[in-house]
Each structure stands twice: as C-alpha cells, then as structure tokens.
Structure 1
Amino acid sequence: MEALYQTLKQRKRPEDVAEMILTLLEGELAQDEKRMLEKAAQGSLKKHFYAYTSMAQEFFKPIGAEKQVKKTVELFRLNSEMTIDADDPVAVETFIQEISPMIHKDMGKNHYLNDRLNKMQRQAEGMDISKRQYNKLFRRLRFMEKKLRKMNRMAQKSEYEQVAKHGLAHRLSYEEFIKDKYTACFITYYTARCNLRSEFTISGQQRPYDEIADMLFKKCTGEQSVHQILRNQIFRKDISAIVNTPNYKAISYVYPDPKVLAHLSDVEKGELLGHWTGVLQEIAEFLAQLWKENTINRTTMVVKKGNDSSTWNHTAGAWNKARDAWMNLIYALGLEFILDQMCFGKVLRLMAADVVAWHYRAGEKLDPNTEVWNKIPLPWEVFREKEICTRSLVKDACYNAGLDAEQSGWIAPRPHGIVAFRPTPELVHGVSVGSPFLASILRKHGYFSGKGLKTVQSE
C-alpha cells in the first residue's frame, strides 16, 4: 500500500499502476475484473524488456536553496553542522528571519540606499564590522529573500500543475488512504489517468474515467456490473456476506462526482467546500498577477511571443478543476442559489497558433467556449467581488455561443461518460513517438517544442 500511495505524488503511467493493483489484489478479482486490469498492465514497464519511458515519472519540483544557504552560513560564520531543509520555502524563510537580526535588518527591507545602516547606526547597535563586510552581509540577505520569492513562485506553479491534473489527490493523508484497500486502488488508478499529458490533437484529449476506472469504482462501492449479476445468478453465488466499506471522503479528493458527494455528511461536504473555496481564492490572486504580467489576446486566446503559456495553462487548469469541484459541492449542499449572485466562469487555456490553424483547416471554428469567455467578466475578478456575473448572464452567453450552459459545465456539474481504455502514448511536447529511445533524442534536440532546435554536444 505504501508504494501505491507514493504514486499519488508521482506521475506513473496508468499501465504501471494497473500492474501494482494486480499484485495487491491477487486472488481477490473476478475473471472479468482481472482481464480488464491485465489489458492495461500488459503495457507496464515491468512487462517490457527495456523497462523505460522517456516521460518524467515525477511532477516538476522547484530547485531548492542548498547552495545559497551553505554560502550564507559561511558568510555569517554560523555553525556549519546546523541542519536546514533548503528545499522547503518555509524553512528557508525561518532561516532568513533568524539571521537577519544579526545585522539589525528587517525582512523585506531591501532598499540599498534607504534600508542599510550607516556607520553611526552600526556603532549604536554595537556592530563591530567594517562597512565592506556589512554591505556583503546585507547583499547576501537581499539575495536570499529574492531566492525565497522565486522558490515560493515555483512551489505555487508546481502545486497548481498537480491540482490541474488530479485535484487534491496529492494532499490525501496516508492514514485516510489505507482505510479501504479497494478505494485506494480506484484512487491511484484514476489519479494516474488524470495525470496523462495533453496530446497535440484537435480531436480532444483522453478522458480519465475509463472502463478500468469504472470497474475499480464499482469494486470498492460494491456495485455490480450486468455481467457479474448474471454470473452470480447462474452459479447461485451468495454475495450477502460481502461487506464493502468504500471511503467516499478519500475518493472525493480526486473524484468529487455527485454520486460520491451524496455519501458524505453535510459537515464533510461543508469542509470540502471550504477547502476548495480557499484553493480558488489562492488561484484567483495568482491569475490576476499572471494576467497583469502577460499581454494575452483574450479574443482568440492564441499564445504569442512573451506569454508564459505553461504557467498560465497550469493555473487555468487548476482553476477549472477547483471550480468543477466547487460547483459539484454547492449543488450537493443545495446551495446553487449562490449562482444567482455570483457565477464565476471558466478560465481558458492559451492555444498554440498551429493548433488553431489546424482547427480552421479541418473546417472548424474557434471553440464556442472562447465566445462565452469573452462575453462575461474575468472569473477571478468575479470571485474577488470586483465584477458582477450571475447565472443568467452566463446562461445567455452560452445560448448565444450555441452551448448548453448545464451540459458544458458553465452553470452546473459537468456530466461524464465512460471511455474505453487506450494505451498511454510516448509523447514529445504532445506529439506521439513510438520509441522511448527516439523520444528522448527528439526531446533533447528540441523537436516539437515550438522553439529552435538545440545543438547537443556529443559526450
């Protein structure tokens, strides 16, 4: 179970997670369930002689401040044996706060002309160091604060990348995870499906809830398929003694579907709503900052030079994932009347110009969601109560764009179906490549990146 739990913070392929589940549930699966899992597991790295994929198995991790902390310890002549988690922004901030008083500097006061102490002030504070040494220490602390700001931003981007893919799965505690084995299997497989990378295509991305995820969900909830019902009737199998104990609270972290939320108490739903509202608040502030930093063409949402498209798209994805969960919860609590006063919309991702051109060449038009996006106030401004947007306004915008406001998820929980399992493609910047080895070479040289090719020095 420990290895399975670790996949929630990783980016394992669904095939590899299916292989782990087969091992964990050995002897507990019906034949049709086993066959379905084997369909995915046959593509696991364990089943291939090269056991290799060119795609990262971990999410992006911010670069820590180990070198910077080490140099600071040296300059301030601190105990070199002291232990500091230089990868943790909170620990780095605490470190800066603890050493700043050594030169009587307040954290955040970094102006080189206005915030430094002059000779008389240093003497008054009992500082027996030269001006040169003082300036060196001041610059070091100023640099450390700059590094901390960068770490916080990178940590924020990493967090939103994960939220955009699998919601709050990576925040699920181990104690909650292991309460029910079958629930754990569903959560890990579905999370792996959610974590699939986007493909360079105009036919839509893979949907995470496939036939295997559905089978595992029914396995943990005790719901039987038609095939299982008929088989049990034919063989007169007594299933009355089987007791299922699904952990719906844990499932709701990654799959806050109405049929899951229906099993939570109002208190649990309220806590989850508060959690997601907090996430939306954080994302709203970051989106406002990104919107200010980037000159984005709102009319088309086509990326242009200078746009930080990866950060924008991760954050937009996180907003939409959080918004879907929030929408599901207010309906589950019977609070949908809130939408008559505040109905913040989706945030559209930036599109590559060649993908948009591909759509037009295929005889398609701009995504109708873009039209809705342009007709209503910016979602983060609505959430921050700087703009007003109601359910009727969104509904009218959807109608004018030719969209069903409820079915498209603009004013109600978005329904989903069950898709067939499809093997995970080996991707290089969204383009499918048959060989992992070839994919590594293409990625190293910058193919399909939208930038110039790289010159790689031979070793």
Structure 2
Amino acid sequence: MTTVEQLYETLDQRRRPEDVAEIIIELLKNKLTKHEWTLLEKAAKGSLKRSMFGYTSMLETFGTAAGAEKQITKAIEIFKIAESEKSDYNNAENIEAFLNRISPLIQKSVGQNNFKSDRLNKIQRIEAGLDISKRNYNKKWRLLKRIEKRLYKYIQESKKIEFQKIAKHGLSHTINQQDFEADLNTACFIAYFNARSGLRSTFTNQSQERPFDEICEMLFNRCKENPDRTNWQAIAYIYTTEEVLQHLTDEQKGTLLGRWTEILREIAEFLGELWNENDINRKTMAVKKGNDSTTWNNTAGAWNKARDNWMNLIYALGMEYILEDLSFGKVMRLMAADVIAWHLSTGGKLDPNTEVWNRVPLPWEVFQGKEFCNKKMIVEACRKAELDPEKSGWIAPRTHQVSRFTPTPELVHGVIVSNPFLASVLRKNKYFSGKV
C-alpha cells in the first residue's frame, strides 16, 4: 500500500492527528518549508510510530453493524439452497434480496411476521403445494422472521454509525479515492482536518477543543497557494466555508445543497423516533435513567453538522432569504447531570443555546412541516437568551478561530488518563461508567 493510500484509509477511521501528521511528513518529504515541517513535527513527534509502546487504548475505527451472515448461512442449509456465488450479507440490499427470493418458497410474505395470523395452516400449506411437516414449516418461518429482524437492526445500526461519522467530519468518508489522490495538498489538508474533527469530547466544564488548528491552517494555505490544482469540491465535503465555496460552480453548490438537504431529512426522521422513545428533559437536557444519550448525542451532532453545511451553502448561493420563511434551529446534546452541576458550581449558568432551544419549535418538526419557525422567531429567542444569533450560528454561518495544536489525550469515557495501558485497565473494569 502506498503512502497516499494509507492516508486515504484514515478518512473512514478515527486515527489520532499525530499519526496522520506522521504520514503527511512522509508523503510530502522535501516539499515542506522549514516552518511547515516544524508545525507538522509538533504533532508527528507524538505519533504511535515514534512512541516507546506504540499503543493507544482508544479505538481507531468507527463501529460496524453486524449483518445477517450467520442467519442466512443457516437458512441456506435448512432450505437446501444451492448458492452459485458467495454474496456479502453484511449488506442491506443483499439481505433484502435473499428474503425476497427465499420467502416465497414457503409462501411467506416479507413483513408479515405475526406468528398467529400470518402463518399458513395445514389446509393452506396443502393448497400451496408445501409438502412439509408443521414443525419444518414453523422452523423455516421463524428463521425468515429472524432474518427480517436482523435486517431492520442492521439498517438502524448502520444509520447510527453513518450519523456518527457525519457528526464528526461531515462527508469526508464518502470522498472517492481518485478525487482524494488527485492533488497531494488537498489530500493532506482533508486527512489532517478529518483526524482533528474526529477527536473525542473530554469531560470538562469548558468548551471543547476546536478542530481547526494551526496545522490545519498551514495545510489549507498550501491549497490556496495552488488554487487551480486544489480539489475544492472534495474539500467542501468536510470544510464548507465561504472561502472554499467561492471556488465551486453554482451547479456544484446546488448539488451539495441537495445532498445535505436529503441528509437533514433522514436525520429529522430519526430524531423524531428518538424523541418519542426517550423521555428527555427538554428544559435542562440533563441525562436521566433510560435515555439513550450516546445515540441521541451522535444524531444531534449529525443534525448540527448537516445544518451548518446547509446554512453555509444557502448563503453561498445567495439564497438566505429562505430563512425568512423557514428556519430550523440546532439540536441540543444531552449532558451528564454532574457536568451541569460542576459548571454551575464554578459560577457558570445553563448554556444560553439551551434557552433558545426551549423557546423555538423542535427543529426536526419544523423541517418536516409539522411546526412553523422562521428567522424572526429565532432572532427573538436569541435576544431573550442574550445570545448573538449570527455569531452563535443560529441564523448565519458560524465563524471560527484557529486554535493551537494540543496533543491528543488518552481518554476513558471522556476522562483524561496519562497512560494508555492504564486506560485499558480502567475501561475493562468499567471505571468512569457508573458500574463500580
């Protein structure tokens, strides 16, 4: 595998910025100025490759959803089916195709899974030409039902993982390899910013580390030095600022806007389901027993990321007038009650964004047309919460400042631990998770 191929693989992973910086130094080698090399070296010196132990307790990949390989293998055996070629059953389309192909063999309709009313009785089996025993029929029927259940779970888990990726780094994991490798400066900026964007949240009563650091700025400046060679469309998948979008055609912007709008639709549907399933305290957004905070926070993060990109694009296209008739707000994450108490005890107060969240209609219901909200309503809610509606990103693209590079900490459930081996032990013994 070439160095640039290694760099491309990191887009769908959670590699530490230090390790990505190490790959970039190897890739650019003599193309870096002394200042650029010094900045990259600040990160690369902490890479696992240069570490004495070369180990981190934190996962370097996102989760994966389990398909129906096990269940379908059993079904092939029980139904005595000859498979001409091996299929991938960690794939929703293939699982669905298998069900549609096999279910008619016992006259079962896909989606009809009521054990009392949807099975065939003895007479119906005879009329259908099924010369099998009741026990054999029930066994096959139950197995197909389990495969359907697995398919639904696989789709749900895949959706959660996809939204988690979007929440962290937008659409960078969907960039194809050819576009990524077309320009090295583009590739290096995307890969490093992707790694910085994937940093985990730390347990703190202060703001989280901002992903765009001084190394991001340096790599982005290299892209600006050769604007004709830079793949701005690929960069826009992860970094949709005005400076980037000005290099795209209106058609490219429109296509990207359509994609983010569809993503918002998918997230809105899922948020509605989660809201109904979880008894969430909207006023404080404090986690309570029974809340699936991980799924909610990942999905809320995906909504906010998609909304930011959507907002950037409508402004870039001169379509901000839309907000006068339709404007949907952010989605607040759930916070641990002890973090809220810690924040209040140190002189802080409830996040003013939460106050705005409580004053405007639920954003996914606005997007779905179930509630009405526009720019005027959000501006008024921000005013009452003493929050700048533009700088806070409620009605305009958010601006950001360049942060200094800081080494990636070893974490156990957000708590900083000095040693990766200690972190492994603490995680294994369920420290910081309320189990001990």
Task: Report the AA paired with residue 27 of structure 1.
Answer: N
Task: Report the AA paired with residue 61 of structure 2.
Answer: E
| In the alignment, structure 1 residue 261 sits paired with structure 2 residue 240 | no
| In the alignment, structure 1 residue 206 sits paired with structure 2 residue 205 | no
2: CA distance, partners of 1:243 / 1:447:
49
Partner residue, 1:321 = 305
* Mapped contact 1:186–1:213 kept (Cα < 8 A): yes
Within 5 A, what are the aligned runs for 1:228-307? 245-307=229-291
Q: CA deviation at 1:96?
A: 1.3
2: CA distance, partners of 1:292 / 1:374:
17
Q: What is the SS of the residue equivalent to 1:26?
A: helix
2: CA distance, partners of 1:134 / 1:221:
66
Residue deviations 1:318-344 (CA, integer Å, cap 9, x gap): 000000000000000000010011100
Q: CA deviation at 1:101?
A: 0.9
* Mapped contact 2:286–2:336 kept (Cα < 8 A): yes
Partner residue, 1:385 = 369
Structure 2 stretches of 5 or more lacking a match?
A: none
Q: What is the SS of the residue equivalent to 1:413?
A: coil
Q: CA deviation at 1:244?
A: 5.1
2: CA distance, partners of 1:356 / 1:118:
59
| In the alignment, structure 1 residue 39 sits paired with structure 2 residue 42 | yes
Residue deviations 1:47-66 (CA, integer Å, cap 9, x gap): 01211000000001112322
Structure 1 stretches of 5 or more lacking a match?
A: 223-241, 454-459
* Mapped contact 2:67–2:151 kept (Cα < 8 A): no
Q: What is the SS of the residue equivalent to 2:145?
A: helix
Partner residue, 1:119 = 122
TM-score normalised to the size of structure 1? 0.93
CA spacing shift, 1:445–1:114, aligned 2, 3 Å: same
| In the alignment, structure 1 residue 133 sits paired with structure 2 residue 143 | no
Matched residue count: 433
* Mapped contact 2:196–2:212 kept (Cα < 8 A): yes
2: CA distance, partners of 1:277 / 1:249:
17
Aligned-residue CA RMSD (Å) = 1.1
* Mapped contact 1:84–1:92 kept (Cα < 8 A): no
Residue deviations 1:95-124 (CA, integer Å, cap 9, x gap): 111111111111101111221112222112
The 10-residue stretch of structure 1 (139-148 or 76-85) with the greater mean CA deviation from structure 2: 76-85
| In the alignment, structure 1 residue 109 sits paired with structure 2 residue 112 | yes
Partner residue, 1:349 = 333
Q: What is the SS of the residue equivalent to 1:57?
A: coil
Q: CA deviation at 1:392?
A: 0.4
Among 66, 73, 77, which residue is 2:80 paired with? 77
Q: What is the SS of the residue equivalent to 1:78?
A: coil
1: CA distance, partners of 2:138 / 2:86:
26
| In the alignment, structure 1 residue 417 sits paired with structure 2 residue 420 | no
The 10-residue stretch of structure 1 (101-110 or 15-24) with the greater mean CA deviation from structure 2: 101-110
| In the alignment, structure 1 residue 192 sits paired with structure 2 residue 195 | yes
2: CA distance, partners of 1:243 / 1:325:
22
Q: What is the SS of the residue equivalent to 2:30?
A: coil
- 4+ residue segments displaced more than 4 Å: none
Q: What is the SS of the residue equivalent to 1:427?
A: strand
Among 380, 405, 420, which residue is 2:389 paired with? 405
Q: What is the SS of the residue equivalent to 1:25?
A: helix
1: CA distance, partners of 2:17 / 2:93:
33
Within 5 A, what are the aligned runs for 1:417-436? 417-436=401-420
Partner residue, 2:152 = 149
Partner residue, 2:100 = 97
1: CA distance, partners of 2:68 / 2:407:
39
* Mapped contact 1:316–1:348 kept (Cα < 8 A): yes
1: CA distance, partners of 2:162 / 2:48:
27
* Mapped contact 1:66–1:87 kept (Cα < 8 A): yes
| In the alignment, structure 1 residue 5 sits paired with structure 2 residue 8 | yes
The 10-residue stretch of structure 1 (148-157 or 62-71) with the greater mean CA deviation from structure 2: 62-71
Task: Report the AA paired with residue 260 of structure 1.
Answer: V
Partner residue, 1:238 = none
Partner residue, 2:65 = 62
1: CA distance, partners of 2:397 / 2:227:
30
* Mapped contact 2:17–2:196 kept (Cα < 8 A): yes
2: CA distance, partners of 1:204 / 1:276:
27
* Mapped contact 1:280–1:323 kept (Cα < 8 A): yes
Partner residue, 2:161 = 158
| In the alignment, structure 1 residue 370 sits paired with structure 2 residue 354 | yes
Residue deviations 1:385-412 (CA, integer Å, cap 9, x gap): 1100010000000010010000000000
TM-score normalised to the size of structure 2? 0.98
2: CA distance, partners of 1:329 / 1:80:
48
Partner residue, 1:228 = none
1: CA distance, partners of 2:110 / 2:24:
49
2: CA distance, partners of 1:206 / 1:245:
31
Partner residue, 2:25 = 22
The 10-residue stretch of structure 1 (160-169 or 124-133) with the greater mean CA deviation from structure 2: 124-133
* Mapped contact 1:220–1:244 kept (Cα < 8 A): no
Q: CA deviation at 1:178?
A: 1.2
Task: Report the AA paired with residue 100 of structure 1.
Answer: S
Q: What is the SS of the residue equivalent to 1:27?
A: helix
